[in-house]
Amino acid sequence: MRFRQRATYVGMLLLVLSLACNRFNDRDCGDFPTWRTAQDFYLSEGGPDKDRHNLDADRDGVACESLPGAPRH
Ligand SMILES: [Ca+2]
């Protein structure tokens, strides 16, 4: 009986942890095929004000400068 209770608690803990991990799906520049797709995603996620995915390290409003199609500075 105790084993069953512990197994239930562990199962519930794993479920809660997996839900918490899936809530924020971190994206990196390497997840995007082109700069345009990265930039569109970056802007849709709040742009320079939020940048939860850290796609714009230098905070100039342009995400993932290393990707093909990025504007030159
Ligand atoms: Ca930038």
Residue 2 has pLDDT above 90, yes or no: no
**Which residues lie near ion ligand 1 (Cβ < 5 Å)?**
56, 58, 60, 62
pTM: 0.67
Residue 53: predicted pLDDT? 96
Residues 6+ apart with CB under 8 A from 38: 29, 32, 55, 63, 64, 67
Residue 23: predicted pLDDT? 66
How confident is the model over 15-59, as pLDDT tens digits? 777 766 656 789 999 999 999 999 999 999 999 999 999 999 999
| CA 61 / ligand 1 centre spacing (Å) | 6
Residue 54: predicted pLDDT? 96
Report the greatest alpha carbon distance in the chain: 66
In the structure encoding, which two tokens stand for residue 59, read together? 């905070």
Residue 73: predicted pLDDT? 62
